[in-house]
Structure 1
Amino acid sequence: MSEPQRRGPIPGGPPAARMMMAGGPPEKLEDFKGSTKRLLGLLKPQRVFVAGALAFGAVGVFLSVLGPYLLGHATDVIFEGVIGKMLGQNLPPGVTREQAIEQLRATGQNAQADLLSGVDAVPGRGIDFDRLAEVLMWVAIIYVFAWVFGVLQGRLTTRAVQAAVYDLRQQVEEKLARLPLSYFDKQPRGEVLSRATNDTDNIAQTLQQTFAQLVTALLTIVGVLGMMFWISPLLALIALVTVPVSIWLTTVIGKRSQPQFVAQWKTTGQLNGHIEEMFTGHTLVKVFGRQDEAASVFGGHNDKLYASSFRAQFISGLIQPAMMFISNFNYVLVAVIGGLRVASGTLTLGEVQAFIQYSRQFSQPLTQVASMANLVQSGVASAERVFALLDADEQSPEPAPVALDGVRGRIAFEDVSFRYLPDKPLIENLSLTVEPGQTVAIVGPTGAGKTTLVNLLMRFYDVTGGRITLDGVDIATMPREQLREQIGMVLQDTWLFGGSIAENIGYGAASPSADLVRLAAEAAHVDGFVRMLPDGYDTKIDEEGSNVSAGQKQLITIARAFLAEPSILILDEATSSVDTRTEVLIQRAMATLRTGRTSFVIAHRLSTIRDADVILVMENGSIVEQGDHSSLLASGGAYARLYSAQFAQAVVEVD
């Protein structure tokens, strides 16, 4: 089911944002071998724990493999006792085993003679229970130690895997911090979150469930195979006939299921992206009556996820029953030929019993390895998606910090050019100088480049031509963190995190005191409504800020910027969510705060820009007019047209 077409452009957004809304660029993740190698490389820093797990696993497997061989001796003790007692009933006392064999051959009972020749039975002597107890005691001791080493192996394996995934999560977190804003414009947030959470968790689960089992299974195969050749090379070769068939089946089925696992996790990311988008905008979805459409899109993604998950699990699930069939076939062959070898006296009954156990032990890890194919393929598919995130192009490297001796706030745009897409210029040869302490208002129609201008100043994007300087220093030569420490920014889209109102305001500074938080709140006119709340500044708000109004959220974010005391203020439609009277009060407070600070104000309301020192009118990425409010109105140009169309009524309301 295709996603219904969205209506209308994204106001003020870059072209990449429209790609984001369309679901982002297609992915093709097919490097299974390379991703598997890289996934195992995550365990390299944990080589000590991996080596310890391998050592404990090898000892544990050796002891487990030794157990059936000793049990075979116990079977021989019992069988020899039964045969010896039967011979004692049919032969005269004192007859030795060799004499009994000669008598059987003399009477033509060659089959019985061959069977007796392979058994260390003494005519007349029954089961040696002391010897049987000793063998069983050693078997018990061996299995106990095998269990202990298995536990130690599991502990070290868990330690290595969890440490590796911990490092991977750290890499993802650090990578997200280094990615440019353009990356997030091209990717739905739910898709990025899915890679950072769901796919990472799936990698942890895959490594945890497969690494220890895979190591144990491979060691068991080697150990069991050695014992099988020790007991009977012929039976071992017969058992090995089924191995190429097993490998061929696993390979064929694995190639068919791998693309389905890739599709499964890709569709999971798309579904999470849609859920995150619909949950964030659930109020608007209901307002515009789009519940059915949202449910329809969800159903489409859900159907795709069901189909890909079903195919992936069903196809990969065919491996285990196929392996079980081969294992049972191998068991029949070994049992029949082993029985014939016992009858001929070539092998003892205990040896055949041990070999049959080894045959089962040999088939079991093969089946186990094959059955883990679906987990491995699912994990590698997730690893490919996480590695694609880790390999994404990062923002340009950070230069060394620049010595700034008291930032004055002089901003200069010198022949600046910028484009989101290489073939579509947005800003061309823009020059502008803003003196310290000036308030610059930027107005213009949607898509004129107003927000892009401040994005370039913040270095969310780097210019494609020209340069921007702060007090004569090219900002491209400054670390982004050092630059942004000098700038306070309030966006139209408010962001609050789960915590108290005081904590949200205090986010603008490092460990601010309660008095500083209150002073910032008073300056932004937050203090008045906060004191009316039951818990005051300790009132908890959620991530969406649903327990405060839109205007109150905006005031809190403005107070946060005030507390930071930056040298440069950027206000991008910062008062769009407050009423006219509150906006006037905020403007008076901001007038005081802006003293000595360079300020950029993007707004449409007259009350926001009327008192600005310089008003820039932008159209199509260029400054078409600049001046103060009175001079621009008198010129009768683009600003006057905007004033007549948008601001005349606002003047009446404010005045």
Structure 2
Amino acid sequence: MDTNQGKAFDFKLLRRVVTYTKPYRATFYGVSLAAILLSVFAVANPVLLGRVVDEAITHKDGTLLLNLVLIMVAVYFAEVTCQVLFTYFANWLGESVIKDVRIALFERMMRFKMQYFDTSSVGVLVTRAVGDMQRIGEIFSQGFFVIVADLLKMLVVMGVMLYMNWKMALIVFAVLPILLYATRLFQRAMKGAFIEVRAQVAQINSFVQERITGMKIVQLFHREDIEFQKFEEINEKHKKAWLRTVWYNSIFFPVAEIVGSITIGLIVYFGARQSVASGDVGTFGAVFSFILLSSMLFRPLRQIADKFNTLQMGMVAANRVFTILDTDSFINDTGSVEAKELKGQFSFQDVRFSYIEGEEVLHGISFDVQAGETIAIVGATGAGKSTIINLLNRFYDIDSGKILIDGTEIRDFSLKSLRSKIAVVLQDVFLFADTVGNNISLKNPTVTKEMVAEAARAIGVHDFIDSLPGGYDFNVKERGGMLSSGQRQLISFLRAYVSNPSILILDEATSSVDTYSEQLIQKATENITKDRTSIIIAHRLATIKKADKILVMEAGNVVEMGTHTELLKGEGYYKKLYEAQFMEEETA
């Protein structure tokens, strides 16, 4: 919930938004100057029209009439030119600002801990990075500068009115507080309404994205009707949030029109009475001028209310974006050691870790892995196997203990160099909507097409890739949807292979692939793990039996360690696991 919801406006937040205009100061000041000139040009023509009526027409002075008309035309051209420049550069400034804010936001999100994404909705983050950004841009293109220009115009109009006829000016000013009060109420009501609108937009974005991503599950379990009903409920809330803003608009603007019409009537009545009482027809021009000037006074006020809505939505969006920008959810990357040539030896020393504070998932585990060894980690779901992988990559920081690689604590390595020496193949493969080649190299300039093809031949998957339409240039579409799960796994394995890691991690990499793909991966495993430290989390006996060491985990503890043969000699957890899970596979 926005803690500033009760405020009509947050100037501190606006100042922070304006700081992003610093690289574009010249444009900012240029747009501000255009706003000032617009207020002057806008007022000039009503004044000139009054002179046309009172001086040129009343005294039948054709020369003066021509001169005044020419001046009015020149003022109109100047006003139009200013308006064009004002509109273009205000929008240009807005787009430039959101470009910079979006870059800052995306760069920050890319450095967040995995824990942040564990608890954040993807749909909401997408809304912040796309929809909310456009709202921030509108602060400049349709909000802030337009409001400033209109306020300046109103001040100039009020000054001119007082100079021309202070009595009629007081009549107009007497009505003004009513409209100002109505505008104030309108702004406060719209602030709360727009907060609700943005919340509902984020909600509907998140819901739609999740259901489209998981459409296979929706259809497999016949959830279409249920999910559609949920969508209708969310969509109804979204509609009601927007209708709330429409309702406020439908009340305010007719009220403003009525107030404006009453004011014009009062001007005509009192102006005519003044003229009749004094016998001076020269005041007719002032009446014409005041009718135009009063419209120029009230119309900006109505527009300010409308533009203030835009500004409010932009401020609400900015507040949400800045909340992410202010989030301190980073892995502390203060290490100065560059992991250039790692041997691959590592050890866990009394490591304790919890994803949620107070709910420990690793309870002081310790083990050593020598360089070039292949270690298999087995255990039931939730035992802590994948947590070890997450900690080794520093996706999370440990609560206590030490993790050493080649004798150096991993916190002392720079994150980039550490992760460049560790390759991970996950069970759930993620591919980008790009070519096969780019998904393998991840557009690393040091990995050429020739290197990718050579690596593919080395592990026996070149023929599969070459058979695709376009070969290495085949676009796999979003999340690799054009490939089977086994083919995606092969691409992921090749991605790890070409990075030439010092430590290779296979996290249940063959648990969901077909027999042919598994054979290819088993062959590749033998090649890539040779003389390289490898960690394999697997459910299949063939991989585990070949490991130099097996780490057996249960409920966040290392309960056994040894080779397959050594562990079967005992009567511990591994033997029970083997008899329950692997014996049938071995005898099949």
TM-score between the two structures when normalised by the length of structure 2: 0.95
Q: Which residue matches 2:432? A: 497
Distance in 2, matches of 1:52 and 1:207, equals 13
Q: Which residue of structure 1 lines up, in the alignment, with residue 256 of structure 2?
A: 323
Shift, 1:617, TM fit: 1.1
Change (3 A) 1:307 1:183: same
Q: Hey, what's the Cα distance between the residues in 1 that align with 2:53 and 2:104?
A: 56
Cα contact 1:412–1:433 (8 A) shared by 2: yes
Say if 1:574 and 1:202 are closer, same or farther in 2 by CA, change over 3 A.
same
Cα 1:203–1:314 shift into 2, 3 Å: farther
- The match for 1:311 is 244
Rounded to whole Å, the distance in 1 between the matches of 2:184 and 2:236 is 28
Number of residue-to-residue matches in the alignment: 583
**Matched-pair contact (CA < 8 Å) for 1:524–1:555:** no
SS of the counterpart of 1:430? strand
Contact 1:320-1:371 within 8 A present in 2 as well: no
**Of 534, 546, 549, which residue of structure 1 is paired with 2:481?**
546
Residue 401 of structure 1 contacts residue 482 of structure 1 at CA under 8 Å; is this kept in 2? no
In the aligned structure 2, how far is the partner of 1:405 from the partner of 1:552? 32
Q: 1:137–1:183: structure 2 CA closer, same or farther, 3 Å change rule?
A: same
Letter in 2 for 1:409: G
In 1: Cα distance, 2:355 partner to 2:339 partner = 31
CA contact (8 A) 1:524 1:556 kept: no
For 2:418, the equivalent position in structure 1 comes to 483
CA apart distance, 1:651: 2.2
In 1, Cα distance between the equivalents of 2:45 and 2:54? Answer: 14
Hey, what's the Cα distance between the residues in 1 that align with 2:178 and 2:98? Answer: 35
- How many Å apart are 1:381 and its aligned residue? 2.0
Partner SS state of residue 488, structure 1: strand
Q: Which runs of 5+ in 1 are unaligned?
A: 1-25, 82-126
1:336 aligns with 2:269: yes
Aligned to 2:235: 302
Correspondence for 1:220 among 153, 167, 192: 153
Partners in 1 of 2:551 and 2:3 — Cα distance? 45
Matched, 1:615 2:553: no
Q: CA deviation at 1:455?
A: 0.5
> Does 2:543 match 1:598?
no
Unaligned stretches of 5+ residues in structure 2: none
CA–CA separation in structure 2 for the residues paired with 1:507 and 1:652: 41
CA deviation string 1:591-631 (max 9, x = no partner): 22112221111111112222111111111111111111111
Q: Which residue of 2 aligns with 1:625?
A: 560
Deviation at 1:517, TM superposition (A): 0.9
Quote the residue 2:125 is aligned against: 192
- Matched to 2:26, the amino acid is V
Distance across 1 between alignment mates of 2:409 and 2:249 = 57
Distance 1:338 1:524, change over 3 A: farther
Aligned positions of 1:549-564 closer than 5 A: 549-564=484-499
CA contact (8 A) 1:56 1:153 kept: yes
Moved over 6 A (4+): none
The whole-number CA distance in structure 1 between the counterparts of 2:543 and 2:275 is: 100
Q: Is the 8 A contact 2:339 2:418 kept in 1?
A: no
2:42 equivalent to 1:64: yes
Q: Deviations over 1:209-260 (max 9, x none)?
A: 2234212211211111111111012222221223322222122222223222
Q: Give the secondary structure class of the aligned counterpart of 2:158.
A: helix
- Shift, 1:426, TM fit: 1.1
Q: Report SS of the residue matched to 2:479.
A: coil
Indicate the residue corresponding to 2:53 in structure 1.
75
Aligned position for 1:273: 206
1:447 match: 382
Q: 2:273 and 2:181 mapped to 1: Cα distance?
A: 31
- Aligned-partner SS, 1:74: helix
- Alpha carbons of structure 1 residues 279 and 453: separation in structure 2 relative to 1, 3 Å: same
In 2 relative to 1, CA 46–514 (structure 1 residues): closer, same or farther, beyond 3 Å?
closer
Distance 1:329 1:178 in 2: 59
Change in 2 beyond 3 A, CA 1:583/1:508: farther
**Residue-by-residue CA offset, 1:79-109 (whole Å, 9 max, x unaligned):** 423xxxxxxxxxxxxxxxxxxxxxxxxxxxx
How far the C-alpha of 1:443 sits from its partner, in A, is 1.1
Deviations 1:565-588 (A, max 9, x none): 011111111112222353244223
Secondary structure at the counterpart of residue 408 of structure 1: coil
The structure 1 residue matched to 2:31, chosen from 26, 48, 53, is 53
After TM superposition, the structure 1 stretch with the greater mean CA deviation from structure 2, 155-164 or 129-138, is 155-164
d(CA) in 2 for partners of 1:518 and 1:451? 31
Which of 304, 313, 316 in structure 2 is aligned with 1:378? 313
The verdict on how the C-alpha distance between 1:594 and 1:172 changes in structure 2, with shifts beyond 3 A counting, is same
Q: Aligned partners of 1:362, 1:534: CA distance in 2, in Å? A: 66
CA displacement at 1:405 relative to structure 2: 6.0
How far does the alpha carbon of each residue in 1:420-446 deviate from its partner, in whole angstroms, 9 at most, with x for none? 122211112111111111111111111
Deviation at 1:27? 6.8
Q: Distance in 2 between matches of 1:241 and 1:633?
A: 96
Aligned equivalent of 2:583, options 609, 631, 648: 648
Residue type at the aligned position of 2:456: A
Contact 2:560 2:573 in 1 (8 A): yes
Equivalent-residue separation in structure 1 for 2:576 and 2:221 (angstroms): 32
Q: Which residue of 2 aligns with 1:175?
A: 108
Give the structure 2 partner of residue 431 of structure 1: 366
Q: Which amino acid aligns with 2:457?
A: E
Number of the residue aligned with 1:241: 174
Whether the aligned pair in 1 keeps the contact of 2:339 and 2:414 (CA below 8 Å) is: no
Separation of aligned partners in 1, 2:458 and 2:251 = 68
Distance 1:466 1:607, change over 3 A: same
Q: What TM-score comes out, normalization by structure 1 length?
A: 0.85
**1:84 aligned residue:** none
- Please say if 1:516 is aligned against 2:494: no
Cα contact 1:520–1:559 (8 A) shared by 2: yes
Q: Does the residue aligned with 2:394 lie in a helix, a strand or coil? A: coil
Matched, 1:260 2:193: yes
Relative distance call for 1:522 and 1:542 in structure 2 (3 A) is: same
Residues 49-58 or 154-163, more deviating: 154-163
> Which of 179-188 and 209-218 deviates more?
209-218
Q: Match of 1:589?
A: 524
Bigger shift: residues 284-293 or 370-379? 370-379
SS of match in other structure, 1:407: coil
Matches within 5 A, 1:460-475: 460-475=395-410
Please provide the CA RMSD for this pair.
2.0
State how far apart, in whole Å, the 1-side matches of 2:417 and 2:469 are.
39
Question: Residue 133 of structure 1 corresponds to which residue in structure 2?
Answer: 66
Deviations 1:513-566 (A, max 9, x none): 222111222344322222323322222210232221110011011001100001
Question: Residues 91 and 140 of structure 2 are in contact (CA less than 8 Å); yes or no, is this contact kept in structure 1?
Answer: no
Amino acid at match of 1:283: K
* Shift in alpha-carbon separation, 1:533–1:421, aligned structure 2, 3 A: closer
Contact kept, 8 Å, 1:313 with 1:374, in 2: the verdict is no
Paired amino acid for 1:184: F
Q: Match of 1:427, as an amino acid?
A: L
Contact kept, 8 Å, 1:320 with 1:370, in 2: the verdict is: no
User: Out of 224, 230, 234, which is 2:163 matched to?
Assistant: 230
Matched, 1:401 2:336: yes
Query: Partner of 1:217: helix, strand, or coil?
Result: helix
**Whole-Å Cα distance in 1 between the matches of residues 45 and 195 of structure 2?**
42
* Segment of structure 1 superposing worse, 618-627 or 315-324: 315-324
Asked whether the 8 Å contact 1:316–1:374 carries over to 2, the reply is no
Asked whether the equivalents of residues 584 and 607 of structure 1 are also in contact (C-alpha less than 8 Å), the reply is no
- Partner Cα distance (2:489, 2:443) in 1: 14
User: Per the alignment, do residues 635 and 28 of structure 1 end up closer, same or farther by CA in structure 2, a change over 3 Å counting?
Assistant: farther
Q: For 1:318 and 1:607, how far apart are their aligned partners in 2? A: 74
Distance 2:587 2:257 in 1: 84
